Amino acid sequence: MFSDNQIERYSRHILLKQLGTTGQQKLCDGRVLIVGAGGLGSPAALYCAAAGVGTIGIIDYDRVELSNLQRQIIHAEGDIGRLKAESAADSIRAINADVCVQAYTEKFAVENARLIVREYDFVIDGTDNFGSKFLVNDACVHEGKPFSHAGVLQFSGQTLTVVPGKSACYRCVFEDLPPKDAVPSCSQAGVLSSVVGILGSIQATEALKYLAQIGELLTDCILTFDALSMEFRKITVRRNPECLACGSNGKWPLLYGDHCN
Ligand SMILES: [Zn+2]
């Protein structure tokens, strides 16, 4: 049952025919884990909090730096030097005191990945390196947890939603980590501030749709976005029966290079 305050807070959701109070209740009962409190994780966490997702977990072991503020909108100038997970948790609480926030200040690693993922209904991959992205994929696949992948670089991004056992996983499409230094990172090649906002907002949208059980998820399809031409494209992808994560001989863990998130 919602209080008068909650009915007012979520009134624009409740007005939506496909969502209503039933859908809002599902959001309030939902648990979303956000891996990385950076450019993608910031908008994803803020929208999940505003939307009333009941429990939000956020894992990041890094600290806020001045160069993060150009795009990591969950942190402010006063947060420089603080642990990102704690800074993000405070911002979430400031937006919506109803949300239960779990801040993990450790590294998302092989040792803890599956234990943490297991506690949630949906995972948002807001990491910034290939090792972490494959680790999120493999942990979610082996725990049977749906998740949203996204990657950004310069003026473009891509995103894909994975429902383990049902749709293509990140490893079905990309198989394994690219050779070291084959693809530059945002810290090497830069990224336009709002591009991470667009991709992170799409990820939050997928989480909300999944929790409320509405619409169609972005599965078996990679959505790419180019800000300079303002073009969105969808590329169909398929499950790989030989996939090292979700195939019949899927393994855990695999190798993740010298990753950090
Ligand atoms: Zn796969």
CATH number at residue 174: 3.40.50.720
- The domain total for the chain is 1
Q: How far is the CA of 171 from the centre of ligand 1 (A)?
A: 5
Strand-pair partners of 27: none
Dump pLDDT digits (tens) for 14-41.
Answer: 999 999 999 999 999 999 999 999 999 9
Q: What angle separates helix 41-51 from helix 193-212, to the nearest 10 degrees?
A: 40
Integer Cα distance of 178 and 139 in angstroms:
19
Burial class (CB in 10 A: 0-12, 13-18, 19+), 111: exposed
Give me ligand 1 centre to Cα 146, in Å.
12
> Would you say residue 7 lies in a domain?
no
pLDDT at 260 over 60: no
Expressed in angstroms and rounded, the spacing between residue 55 Cα and the centre of ligand 1 is 28
Average the pLDDT over 73-92 and give the result: 98
Q: Tell me, yes or no, if 221 is annotated catalytic.
A: no
CA of 76 to the centre of ligand 1 (A): 38
Query: Tell me: the pLDDT tens digits for 165-205?
Result: 999 999 999 999 998 888 888 888 999 999 999 999 999 99
What is the tens place of the pLDDT at every residue in 205-242?
A: 999 999 999 999 999 999 999 999 999 999 999 999 99
Asked if residue 8 belongs to a domain, the reply is no
Residue 261 reports pLDDT greater than 70: no
Does residue 158 have a pLDDT over 80? yes
- Residue 192 Cα to ligand 1 midpoint, Å, equals 30
- pLDDT at site 186: 82
Q: What is the pLDDT of residue 146?
A: 99
Q: Is residue 44 part of a domain?
A: yes
**What pLDDT is attached to residue 69?**
98
161 in a domain, yes or no? yes
Residue 53 CA to ligand 1 center (angstroms) comes to 28
Question: Is residue 106 included in any domain, yes or no?
Answer: yes
Which residues span the domain enclosing 89? 18-236
The pLDDT score that the predictor gives to residue 259 is 66
Residue recorded with tokens 């297991």: 118
Note whether residue 259 is domain-resident. Answer: no
Task: Pick the catalytic residue from 140, 172, 186, 246.
Answer: 186
In a domain, 258, yes or no: no
SS3 content of the chain, % helix, strand, coil (to 5): 40, 20, 45
Query: CB 26: neighbour CB atoms within 10 A?
Result: 19
CA of 240 relative to ligand 1 center, distance in Å:
6
- Would 162 be classed as within a structural domain? yes
pLDDT by residue (tens digit) across 102-144?
Answer: 999 999 999 999 999 999 999 999 999 999 999 999 999 999 9
Please tell me whether the peptide bond between 253 and the residue prior to it is cis, using omega within 30 degrees of 0: yes
